[in-house]
Every structure is written in structure tokens, then in C-alpha cells.
Structure 1
Amino acid sequence: MQSVEYARDTPADETNQNSRVVHPANQTTSSTPDIPVPYPHAPLARLDIQVLPDPLSIDEDCISETERASVDVAGFLPTLYPKDMFAVHPNTVVNAMATNLYDIEARRWREYPPSQPSEQENATAAFLDELTRSAWRVYAALEKKLPCFARQWVVTRSTRVLLSGESVQVPGIALVYAGLKSVQWADILCDVQIVSSVEQMPEALRRLTCGAANVFASQGDRFFHIGIALAGDSFQVAYFDRAGRVLSGIRDAHRCCVLFTRVLMGLTMLDASYCGKDTSLASRGGQFFVTVGGLEYRIVETLSIGKEICGRGTVCWRCRRSDSDKDYVIKNIWADKRQHPTEGDFLRMASSIDGIANLVCDEPVPWPHDEHRTTVWLRDLVQGPDRADVLSGVPHLELRRLVFDQYGKPLEEFATKDELILALRDAVEAHEQLYDTKDVLHCDISDNNIVLCEVPGSSRRRGLLIDLDSAIVAKPDGEYKRGPIGRTAGTLPFTACAILLSPDTVAHSPWHDMESFLYVLMIICSSYAGPSSTPRNDVDVRSLKIGRWLDGNAGHKARVMFGYDDDQFRGFLDESFHPYFDDLKELVFDLRTAIARTKWATDRVFLDIFDRHIRQRQSSDDHAAPPASQCAATGPSGKDDDSEEQDAPERSAADLPQDDRTAMPPPPTPREKVSSSSSHASDDSEVTLVEPRRLYQATKETCPVIARSSPSPKRKAVGEQTTHSPKRQKVDHVD
């Protein structure tokens, strides 16, 4: 046998080889595993069954939305794995395996696992490994360059959501780099699920969709993810990206032996980009680098990874350049290529405004081989009469990188109540300047999008307004500037009631963002017991009436905000707020009065209310809470939810500002939730579901190229989506 020349994979292929690589910030790394010798002439050592850790959460809504966005494109596999990328054509490899693995005359794979053996997963993993090893041996015999690192198929057990909605542990197979001692979701290159018959293929696809959600939630360097469903002698490939799922046709693994081999060789013989990895990230000396705008940044830590499959998939890193010790934040986001202005455009427009995140650079991320693809590229292969309908519903998302020279801590990390309300005031003032001077409405005010930033020479941190990816240009409409009718955006539970209840007839206006600012304050006061994200242990927020807002109960929210009289609203605050925030109830009460009892609750109205309460607090030596008589509940108490709501006056529509009054129907019943479109495109009907976020729980998984260290829970990037606040969904309909 001739000597084998090993080709180097792309730099990113070196960054994910070993699950024990430690975060660069911890100053240690483990060595990159070598190809096991004498592989490929001897098989790899088999690993025990790998039990993958349960994810932070399995959101059935996320799974269902991905399935609704599924498209059948029977012939996409040759496009995904083009033959000219292989040093040896898969057909040649199959012919070479005739002596040991494939019976050409019978047109069947030898040792192919039967449909229902007791050890089917082990037998299938062994078969896939043998096929991969045979391909390596053909390459070696023909003196072709081999991958630098071997990849191995291992048996797994993991929690999946079944078609029934039940979450159970099921067996499966995963592709990982050889040499790992244990496997986690951050190591998965490809996911395989096995069922006994083609009739059960939908069940396998559901499991694969659940696995894709876990992969995207734990790997920050993903363009796409591949799952393979095996059903007896048949196989089907599922391609997942930020626009949903693309399914190949169901093929016979024996009769379509070359196509079957082509897929497996694409996953094991080509560079990691063909497994869906973003190979623009480089590794040197155990540190990880990304180049944006011609400048190289060293990744210090992963700050956040978006948890959803469909949508923006935001990932944020804290970085530094070699020429400076200044911290930068790099934000990866899947943005609609057709949306203009872009988030970068809005940030450049706002560059002169104090209190808005400062953009350094913004550019699209090229795919491997200098290709610029959007989420349409495989779906464009659809043929037949449904082509136009399919393509019209697909979002044209491209991966973009934005660099900021500021980052801050989450708003709920406030040090004092004064800092909390001052930071909110800062954000309202930045919103006012953005609207007054640049004609831009933010449209996605949430606790995620206000951060606390250090200011040199200042004794307190300032509130910084971030994430303009949902912003719009407001145009004159009578006395005020507004967005177009029917274009809605926001994050539950912070979205204004009128937008939730009448998304097709309401023009986004500045008072809708003010309403969202109020909800940020109310939900923080209900969710925490003090500064620095102090957990609330006295009650589960979801058991309170305000807990309904976390799941998007727009009817209940409208009833409280616009239907309750003043005494009932005070009683609602008394039930909802932790006692630590008692002295902020009057501020909340006044802000709510501005929203529900005045015609236009503009930025200036809110700023005046904030200023009045801030002056009152500053004039008090000890910031004592208001007298009990001022904030004690005088409304109904001790009643169950239904009885209180039956007593509430039905006047929510009448008390809305005049433009919302005509558009908004009567409030839904207390149990009714807002309905949403199943689309996740950046079109008029888009609704992007964001992964549920639990109180006080920081992200535990990081980008695998910065393997396995926990991201700092005390810092929040400009543009970051955190994971430790109540469940919410992102509503994002973009024109």
C-alpha cells in the first residue's frame, strides 16, 4: 500500500474535534485528536452507548413550526453533495466495495442491518462505520488526499418529542469526530433515527426535527444541519436551516446505493462545511478567530446562542483584536436579504444618537468556496405547479455579522431600583431621538433589548437600546409618524395589546413601544426579588395572573390594562409585584394611566412621568416606599381569576387611543390566546417563534468551536438574546 497523504480540512475543522477542548478564556486547551492508527486499515474502537444530556427545554411550538415550514425537494442531494467535490467518485467507491460490502449482482448491501433486530442501532452504526472506512481505504489505495480527522458513527440515547407530543428517551446514531470519550449535543455532526417501516417515517422525521433543535441550540457555528431517517431498506434525508426543513425523496438504500454512498461520503470525506458547519472560524494554538471587515478578532467567550431553528438564530461573541485590549461584540444573525433598510443601515443612521448601540462593521458571511447563499438555494430546486407558492413563502435569509464596540449586562442585573428606572429612562430617551430625528421606530422593546453599559467617568451604568433588526421607517400619518398597517413586530409578553389583537389593521406607532417599555418594568418587578437577578422564591410567576402574559394571553393583558378600573389595577400590582418593588408601583400606575387613559402616550409623556418620579426619589433621603394607603389594593381580593374578570368593566376597546379603537375587536375571553401565522419568513405574515426562556437559567451550551465553557451569565452582548427570563415568543412580520 502506498503511503497516505493527509489533507488538512479547513481551519474550523480543527476547532470541533474534541469535546474536552476548554474555552479559550480559561487559558487551557486539550490536544487535537490524531487519526487512530492503523485506521483505516483497522476499525475504530467502538464507544459505549452515548446518553446525550437533556436540553434546557424542548419547545413543541418550535418543532411544530419547523414542520409547518417543511418543503419536499426530492432531488436536492446531488446539489448538496456535488460529484466534483469528491476526489474519488462515489460510483467508483461502490464498485471497489464489491469485494467486501456491496453485492453488485444482488444489488444489496452485505451486512445491512435487518429491520427489527434487538441490536439494530449497534448493527447500523457498525455498518455505517465500515462503509466510511471502506471509502477511506479506496482513497488511500488511489493515493488521494484524506480528511485530517476521522469521523465515527456512535449509538446514542436522547430525549425526543414524539408525534404524540410525549417526550421520551429513544435510541439513535450520531456522527462525531473519532477519538471522543463522551458525546454531547455540541459534538453532533449528523443525526440518525431508525424506525421499522416506511409508514413510520413521519415519526423518525419528528425525532430528527427535535434533534436539529438541540444541535442549533448548542452549536453557534451552523449554516445547516443534516438528519437521516432509516426505515427498513429505505432512507430519507432532512436538511434543516433557519427557514425550516427540506426533505429528500424516500429512496431504497440498496438500489440507490451510489446516492446512499454519496450522502455518507459527503458527511465523512468532505470538509466540515458539508456537515453544515461555518468554516470561516479559524483555530490557532487553541484560540479561535473570526475575520470581519478585513480585521481579525479573537473570540474570548460565547455570550449567547439563539435557541430556535426558524428565525434569526442570533449568536453573540465577546472578542478582542490583536491591536487593542478593547472588548468588541460580534453578532451573527440570519437576516432577510430583501429587507431594506437592514439592521446595519438603521444602526448607521443612529450613529449620532447617544444610547443606541454603536456599529463598527456589518457584512454578509460567505459560505465555503466563496459562495453567497440564502435559505432559498435548495428550495429553488422545486419543480412543478407548486414552485411559485413554495418560493413565495420561503424567507431569503443570509447570515450576517455585525461588530459593536460596546456590550453590557442584562437589564435585570440592575444594582439598585434607581439604576433600573434610570436605565429605562435612558432607553426611552434614545427611542425618542431615534424616532424624532431619524424617523425610525424600534418595534421590539423587551428586556432583552435594553442593557446596562459602563460609562467612563460616570457613577452609574447607562441604559443602552440595542437590536434594531425589527425596526421600521415611520412615515407621516396625520399628527404622528407611524409604520405601515399590518406590519407587526415584538416579543411576547412585551408586545402592545392592539398589535397582538389586531395585527392586520393596526399601524405600529410610538405609543405601542411605550406600552412595551411599561411591560418590561412590570415583568421585572414580578419576576425578581431584588437586584442582580435575585430569584423570586416566594411564588412561581406563572401561577400569578401576570403569568398569562408570558404565554401571550392578549385577552387577559388587554382586560387588565384597558378594562380594569384604578382600584382593580392596584390590586393586580399588589398580587404580581415582589415586595422589594413596592415603591415602584406608583410609577407603574402613572405609566399605565398614560397608556390606557390618554389619547397618545408618546416618548415625551413617558419621559415626563419618569422625571417626576426620579425627582421624588432623589428628594427622599432614604427612598422610602409610598404610604401603604397609596398602594394598597382596594379592589376585589381573594377571588378566583374568572370571578374577578367577570366583575371587570368591558371597556378595553373604548379606552384605547382613537386609532386603535376602531381596529381592535372586543377583548377575547380570559382563556383565549393570540393566534399567529405559521410562517417564519420575513414577509407580511411572518411569525417567528423564539425558544422558551426560563427564569434564572443561563445558557449552558456554547458554540462548539469554543468548546464547553459556560458563557458568562453576568454579561450581555449588544444584540444578545439571553435565556434566563420568562417564556416569550417573537412576533416578527416584516414588509
Structure 2
Amino acid sequence: MLHTSDHSEDRRPGAKSRAQSHSNHHKGMPGGSRCSTTTTTETYAHDLHRGLVEDSDVEMFLRETDAYDSGQTRWSIPSVPKTREELVGAMYGALQSILGRFIRSFEPGVERELRNTQDVPACQGSNDDGFRVCPVLVVRAAGPSFEIPKSLVSASQVSTRLGFSNMASYFSVKMESEIGSTKESVEEMSSYARRIFHAQPNRFHVRSLILTERHARLVHFDRGGSQITPPFDIHQHPATLIRLVAGLSSTNETMLGLDNSIQWTIVDGRKTEGTLTTTGPGGEPNTYPIVDQIVTNRDSIRGRATMCWRVRDPETLEEFVVKDSWRPDDRPPEYDLFELTKDIPGVAQMISHEAGRVEIRDMRCPSTVGQYLNRVSSRMTLRLYGKPLTSFTSTLQLLRAMRDALAAHQKLVGGDVRILHRDISHNNVLLGQEGAAEGERGVLIDLDIAFRATEGKPTVRVDHNLGTRIFQSMSVIGSDYLQQRSPAYDYLDDLESFLYLLAYIFLLYKPDGSRFSSKDEGPSIVQGWGDDDPERAYANKRKLFGVGHVAETALDLVEEHWGASCGSLFKRFSCWILHIRGSKSSLLYGRKATGAPNALDPLLSRRDEHYADVLRFFDEAIVAVEGESLAKTDVVMGDSLQPTSSPPAPAVDLTTTQGAHPRPNLLSLGPPPAVTQLRRSARIHKLRPTKGEEASPESSAPTPSALLTTAPSLRRSARIRKRRLEDDQESDVPPKAKRVKKSLRVNARSR
């Protein structure tokens, strides 16, 4: 029986867009004509494993086996099969004879077995891609990199248990008349290869064969895409078929495309203890026991395929994270960027790295070099931090982590470092270790697609194909429309991503870290931000700003579930971003726009001021939440504690200057000033343009000075009660008969 539950899809909002980003990476870049599938030369299939089986051994086998008719010089396969089942049976016999003769294992626990799944009931249906649940012929494997599927409760009858976690290779068998186009054939084979990559995390490449009664084609998959050979006649070239089948069924895991620096001990068919060998801090090889595999979103074949391992130093018992990924060879190595970020609080610290492991071009036909995006396997060892940001368990933990990550980001873009992250997301901000000091409570990771400004290349254009769609800034998403008129990426795009990260958490999660139902209003708002279509994603995301149903609903939801302090933070941060977007739009596309490359300099020169503003929003929100926590503690303690008089606390200056961000002392804060909260209709009226003014979200955005003095709003329920009371006092008309004028909707799109 074949078990397929070892493959799973990530259904979170925006998850698919990252995979889409990988698959479209080559677009809009030099070499944009590079293909996801390339075709090899005629001779490649014949030469690939020529040294694996000697000619004399091939000739002897063909003379002795019943699977080949030496007189007819053809395999014992019907030239015109009546049914596919007949062809599969004959092909199984031929391939089984090859494995029986040329595949031998001399190591305990290492096995290869050809299985025919034609009559297996679990394989009769279709998978999510619309193809057969599993290939018709499968090479089942046992050894240091394979295990029976995790869905099995018992390891009994291991030899009959199949899954993508113990599949060395596979063969598609079809009649010549049923073979479709090359694209269709590759799509079907990729459906299985993707599942093998997912279930076998140390896999470099996957190879398989498409077989008919006359021809065979070798299909190869790696992190650059796929390549396929032209069809060759299996009867005229029996030695080629023998060598390919022997290579695809080899007991040598390296030949199968597995990374043997990662190995497991197999007990009862299951992986138990594992080890990972890499370069240590002093350049020497170190072998670490594997503590855990850190799950990452890697469902796409083509792309970075990031995989992380939690390991432990056997001598010091200190734990680290080893990160494997595939970077484009025209992009600077991530470890070079981490060398520049040493000792920056709130940025992951690298222990060592391993360069030049393997490249895609080393695994492919030489004639296809340049037709695909070549990637290089990189490995780094990093210090271990906490879980992803979305694993928070309290409001304070979340706000403190985001605050420290923002402070780290300021240091990342400043001084001599000058690195733009370009992928701020829920997976790339980690919580600090338990008890971490201020500055380390949130940690930035993943500089895979980061850009470092240099004298030779001071800027890089925004690109909607890079990053995680759901967190991309409006300028980045808009590059799909603007193309070559798109502006350069700057730190403000990363700050805007921080806003979407905050909104993502506020609308999808509750303050205790649990999630809302996907059918709730918050998740429904966020879902549209990750649309694969940049234009739709842009339209959905712009609704978060200005005056409109989505913007008001989002704010109401944050205030209702997270409280007034978080509502104020969300409102101030989003209004600030709206103001920044308006300023950028005016400088780039307004009536006085010059079109000069440095058109944004008047705005970007205020970098320290911008970070001071955003950090202040978080600092004040943290102080407010801390105060709320103390107030709750006082209530719990009851009235038995008598208040004591104390002298008035001195006023605290919350302003900051040029990169300094002092945290206010909660105990020194005096009582907050009384603030009169305007009615909702009055607030909306203030945002409307006066007669003759052009209505736009940017023109309605408050100034930074106004943002810094905005008081926290009342919670939604309190505002509703207050508004009803005021309405009753101001009018003799019964509330149910009172007409409400619809608020003005303002178009929030700016391009």
C-alpha cells in the first residue's frame, strides 16, 4: 500500500506567493529567456552512466536473460501492446531482470526493490495535480536516507510499504500512442519529483524515466527546474537502458542525488538518530548530532529550497542552526552579508559557513549551461534563537520582538553595512531566546535576497518577483505595472513590510497567540494580500489605508481584540506609512517631479527621523500595555492594599533625536492627560477633502507631527455606546428612524 501523507501543502495566506516567486525568479532579469525545462543533446543519455556497467557485462546479460531476444535484437516487450496493463507487465519484467543482475548491496539495511503499483488500490485515484497517486513502477529503497512513511503506525511488512520517503526513483510507462507533449510529460513527472524532494530533505536531484514500447526519455529535476533527453530507441540501445536503470536504482546514495553529509540511523524502517557534517568555526570538519529538522515552506522544486537543521555540539552541548539553501550564482553569498552584520544586536549571528558545495550545472548536460538559472548550494551554521514571531504567547512579547527587530533593521541599513533585507516576513523575524536582553528579543534572519549598496551598485530596482507577496510594499507590488519606471528599493519598503507583518498578526492571531478561524473577518482581509496576481494583491492591500470599509473594519478588529493601545499603534503606523507613500508618490510622479535618479533624496535623508518615529510608536505602545498589565495586577490584588501618597512624578520627554531611542520609565510617568475622543462621524469629516481639493489617500494622511500626538482610541464597543448616547442627546428622532449619511469613500490607489 502506498502512503502519501508525508507530503503536505502550506495553506497559510501568502504561502503560495513565495513559491510563485521562486518559479518566476528568472523573469525580468538578465537572461529572462532561460527556461524551466531544457533539452539535452542526443548523446547525453548514452554517456551519463557509461562507466557504471562494462560493455562486456552488458553483452553477457543480454545473451543470458529471457527479458531480451538476442535473435530479434529487442526486449521481450510486445511491439503493439493491446493494453497499457500488458505493456506495464512486460516492462516490469525487463526492468526487474536489470535490477536482479546489476544491483547488489553489501551493506546491512541497504536495499533496492522494483515494485509494480498497477494493482495497488491506494494508487488508483488522482493526486492534487490530477495525476495518478503514484508512478506505476517504483524503486523502493532502504538505507541511511530513506524511511517508511511516517503515517504508518507499525513497521511490520516493511517491504510492502511504499511512500515518497522511501522512493529512490520511478518509471512512467505508457503506450506510444498515449504519449503527450514534452511539457505534459514533464508536468506529470514533476508531480512525483516534488513529493520526493519534500519527503527527502537531503535530496539534491531526482531522476526518472518515461518508457513506451519503443522509446525512453530520462527526466532530471533539481532546484533550477528540469531537463529531459530526446527519446532514444530502447531496442537499438539496450545498453543505455541498462545503465540508466542501474544508475537510478543504485545503492550509492550520492549517485541517486542525495547529500551524504546528512545521514540517519535506521531502526525498524524509521529514521532515529541523525548526523550532519559541515565546516566548523576553525575551518575543520565537524559532525553534529541532529536534534531536529526545522520545517520550512519548500513545496516548490525550483528555488532556494531552504532547509534548516537544529544541531548540538557534542563537546559543548551548545545548539546551533545549520541552514542549507540554493542561491543564484549571480547573487552574493548570504554568508558574505552575515560577515558584515557581526555583533549587530537583533541580527542572527553566523558561526561558520561552507562554500562551493555543489552547483546545478555540475548535475546537468553541459550543452544546456546558460539556458537555466544556475544555483549554488550554500551552508551556514548560525546561533540558535527562538521560534518564529507568530509563536508569541503575549502582546508584550510580540511588541518587544518587533521593536527590537526594527532597531536591528536600522543598524542593518546604516553605517558601512548598508543592507536592505527585502523579505521582512513572519518567518524571517524570530523571537529571542527566553530571558533575552533588550535588543535581542526579536531577531532578523534570512539575508538570501538582501541587497548591499556599494559604490559600484548603489541601488536596486523593486521587483514583485522577489520576497513574500503578502508582506511586499505597494511599490514592490506595483513594479508589475510600472516595469522600468519602477523606483529603487529603499529602507522605507522594508518598514512598510513591518507594517503588514504587524497587521498580519493583529488580524490573524489573538493576543494569546491562538489563531482566528479562517472564516473570520481579519483573515479574510489578509487573504487577498497574497494574491498571485500583483494587480489584485495591490488592489486588496490598498484598502487597508484611507477611509473605507476595510480600513475601518481592520482598525475596529484590532481595537476589539487587542485593545486600545495596540489599536493606536496600528493606526499611527498605518497612517505614517500612508503619509510616506504620499511623499514618495509626489516626489516621483507629482507635478513637480524631476524624474532624476536622486528624486527621493529629500525623503531618504531623514532616515534616522523615520526610524525614531516608528520605534516611538512601539515604545509607547509597550509602555501602555505594561501599564495595563500592572493595572490588572492591582485589581487582582484587591482593595486590601491601601494606596499611599507619593510626590508627583516628573514629566518624561518621549522625543528622540538622530537614532537615539530611550525607553520611557513606566514608574516615572505621570497620569495621562485627559483626551476628548471625537465621534466617528467627526473623525471621518476631518479626513474628507474641503471643496475644490483633490481626494486622495495621500492628501488625507496626517502629518508625522500629528501622528506622534495621536491618543489611543476608545475600544469599539465603548465608541458605539458613546455614539448612541450622543445621538440620543442631540436629536428627538428615535434612533431606529434616524438616517445616517454614508461616509465618503476615497480611492486609495496611487501609482
Shorter-chain TM-score above 0.5: yes
Give how far 1:274 is off: 1.6
* Cα distance in structure 2, aligned partners of 1:64 and 1:538: 27
* Structure 1 equivalent of residue 48 of structure 2: 81
Give how far 1:261 is off: 0.6
* Cα distance in structure 2, aligned partners of 1:94 and 1:635: 92
* Structure 1 equivalent of residue 350 of structure 2: 359
SS of the residue corresponding to residue 483 of structure 1 reads coil
Q: CA 1:432–1:459 in structure 2 vs 1: closer, same or farther (change >3 Å)?
A: closer
- The superposition leaves residues 297-353 of structure 1 with CA deviations (integer Å, 9 ceiling, x where unpaired) of 11111112422211111111111121121111111111223322x210111110120
Preserved contact between residue 299 and residue 317 of structure 1 (Cα < 8 Å): yes
Structure-to-structure mapping, 1:225-374, within 5 angstroms: 225-269=206-250, 271-283=252-264, 287-293=273-279, 294-305=285-296, 306-340=298-332, 342-364=333-355, 366=357, 373-374=358-359
Structure-to-structure mapping, 1:160-199, within 5 angstroms: 166=130, 169=133, 172-177=136-141, 180-197=159-176
1:485 counterpart (457, 461, 468): 461
Preserved contact between residue 147 and residue 270 of structure 1 (Cα < 8 Å): no
Structure-to-structure mapping, 1:613-652, within 5 angstroms: 613-621=621-629, 651=696
* Cα distance in structure 2, aligned partners of 1:134 and 1:146: 17
1:499 counterpart (476, 481, 486): 476
How many residues end up aligned between the 2 structures?
569
Q: CA 1:322–1:314 in structure 2 vs 1: closer, same or farther (change >3 Å)?
A: same
Q: CA 1:460–1:611 in structure 2 vs 1: closer, same or farther (change >3 Å)?
A: closer
1:98 counterpart (63, 74, 87): 63
SS of the residue corresponding to residue 118 of structure 1 reads helix
Preserved contact between residue 216 and residue 231 of structure 2 (Cα < 8 Å): yes
Preserved contact between residue 357 and residue 464 of structure 1 (Cα < 8 Å): yes
- The superposition leaves residues 130-160 of structure 1 with CA deviations (integer Å, 9 ceiling, x where unpaired) of 2210225xx89xxxx8998331112342776
Preserved contact between residue 207 and residue 220 of structure 2 (Cα < 8 Å): yes
2:497 counterpart (516, 532, 543): 516
* Cα distance in structure 2, aligned partners of 1:529 and 1:311: 33
Query: Unmatched 5+ residue regions in structure 1?
Result: 1-48, 367-372, 383-389, 638-648, 658-735
* Cα distance in structure 2, aligned partners of 1:277 and 1:495: 35
Q: CA 1:515–1:152 in structure 2 vs 1: closer, same or farther (change >3 Å)?
A: same
1:96 partner amino acid? F
2:292 partner amino acid? E
1:408 partner amino acid? G
* Cα distance in structure 2, aligned partners of 1:357 and 1:425: 16
Give how far 1:606 is off: 1.4
Give how far 1:470 is off: 1.1
1:232 partner amino acid? E
* Structure 1 equivalent of residue 83 of structure 2: 116
* Cα distance in structure 2, aligned partners of 1:120 and 1:51: 25
Q: CA 1:270–1:187 in structure 2 vs 1: closer, same or farther (change >3 Å)?
A: closer
* Structure 2 equivalent of residue 399 of structure 1: 377
Query: Unmatched 5+ residue regions in structure 2?
Result: 11-15, 26-33, 118-122, 143-157, 267-271, 280-284, 584-602, 633-671, 685-693, 703-751
1:358 partner amino acid? Q
Q: CA 1:544–1:92 in structure 2 vs 1: closer, same or farther (change >3 Å)?
A: same
Preserved contact between residue 168 and residue 249 of structure 2 (Cα < 8 Å): no
Q: CA 1:381–1:231 in structure 2 vs 1: closer, same or farther (change >3 Å)?
A: same
SS of the residue corresponding to residue 408 of structure 1 reads coil
2:488 partner amino acid? A
* Cα distance in structure 1, aligned partners of 2:521 and 2:200: 30
Greater relative contact order structure (CA < 8 Å, 6+ sep) = 1
TM-score normalised to structure 1 length: 0.69
1:497 partner amino acid? M
1:422 correspondence with 2:389: no
1:490 partner amino acid? G
* Cα distance in structure 2, aligned partners of 1:90 and 1:52: 39
Structure-to-structure mapping, 1:27-38, within 5 angstroms: none
Preserved contact between residue 103 and residue 110 of structure 1 (Cα < 8 Å): yes
- The superposition leaves residues 427-453 of structure 1 with CA deviations (integer Å, 9 ceiling, x where unpaired) of 100000111131111111001100112
Give how far 1:420 is off: 0.6
* Structure 1 equivalent of residue 418 of structure 2: 439
Give how far 1:408 is off: 1.6
Q: CA 1:237–1:490 in structure 2 vs 1: closer, same or farther (change >3 Å)?
A: same
- The superposition leaves residues 545-575 of structure 1 with CA deviations (integer Å, 9 ceiling, x where unpaired) of 3321122454455456657424656424157
* Structure 1 equivalent of residue 442 of structure 2: 463
Give how far 1:531 is off: 2.6
Give how far 1:82 is off: 3.5
Preserved contact between residue 94 and residue 102 of structure 1 (Cα < 8 Å): no
1:597 correspondence with 2:549: no
- The superposition leaves residues 207-231 of structure 1 with CA deviations (integer Å, 9 ceiling, x where unpaired) of 2111111111121111100122123
2:519 counterpart (533, 536, 539): 539
* Cα distance in structure 2, aligned partners of 1:375 and 1:131: 29
Q: CA 1:578–1:391 in structure 2 vs 1: closer, same or farther (change >3 Å)?
A: farther
Preserved contact between residue 527 and residue 536 of structure 1 (Cα < 8 Å): yes
Q: CA 1:462–1:135 in structure 2 vs 1: closer, same or farther (change >3 Å)?
A: same
* Cα distance in structure 2, aligned partners of 1:630 and 1:55: 53
Give how far 1:494 is off: 0.3
1:107 counterpart (73, 88, 105): 73
Preserved contact between residue 160 and residue 207 of structure 1 (Cα < 8 Å): no
Q: CA 1:147–1:95 in structure 2 vs 1: closer, same or farther (change >3 Å)?
A: farther
1:355 partner amino acid? G
* Cα distance in structure 2, aligned partners of 1:320 and 1:361: 14
Preserved contact between residue 570 and residue 634 of structure 1 (Cα < 8 Å): no
1:377 correspondence with 2:377: no
Greater shift, 121-130 or 252-261, is seen at 121-130
1:492 partner amino acid? R
SS of the residue corresponding to residue 430 of structure 2 reads strand
- The superposition leaves residues 480-514 of structure 1 with CA deviations (integer Å, 9 ceiling, x where unpaired) of x9632356632110011111112542211000000
SS of the residue corresponding to residue 9 of structure 2 reads coil
* Cα distance in structure 2, aligned partners of 1:631 and 1:213: 56
- The superposition leaves residues 72-97 of structure 1 with CA deviations (integer Å, 9 ceiling, x where unpaired) of 1134745873433x2x4156224323
- The superposition leaves residues 638-694 of structure 1 with CA deviations (integer Å, 9 ceiling, x where unpaired) of xxxxxxxxxxx974688999xxxxxxxxxxxxxxxxxxxxxxxxxxxxxxxxxxxxx
1:484 partner amino acid? V
Greater shift, 415-424 or 551-560, is seen at 551-560
1:518 partner amino acid? L
1:55 partner amino acid? H
1:174 partner amino acid? V
* Cα distance in structure 1, aligned partners of 2:469 and 2:549: 23
- Compute the RMSD of aligned alpha carbons: 3.9
Give how far 1:180 is off: 3.0
Q: CA 1:317–1:171 in structure 2 vs 1: closer, same or farther (change >3 Å)?
A: closer
* Cα distance in structure 1, aligned partners of 2:697 and 2:444: 30
2:406 partner amino acid? V
In our comparison, the structure showing a higher alpha carbon Rg is 2
Q: CA 1:197–1:528 in structure 2 vs 1: closer, same or farther (change >3 Å)?
A: farther
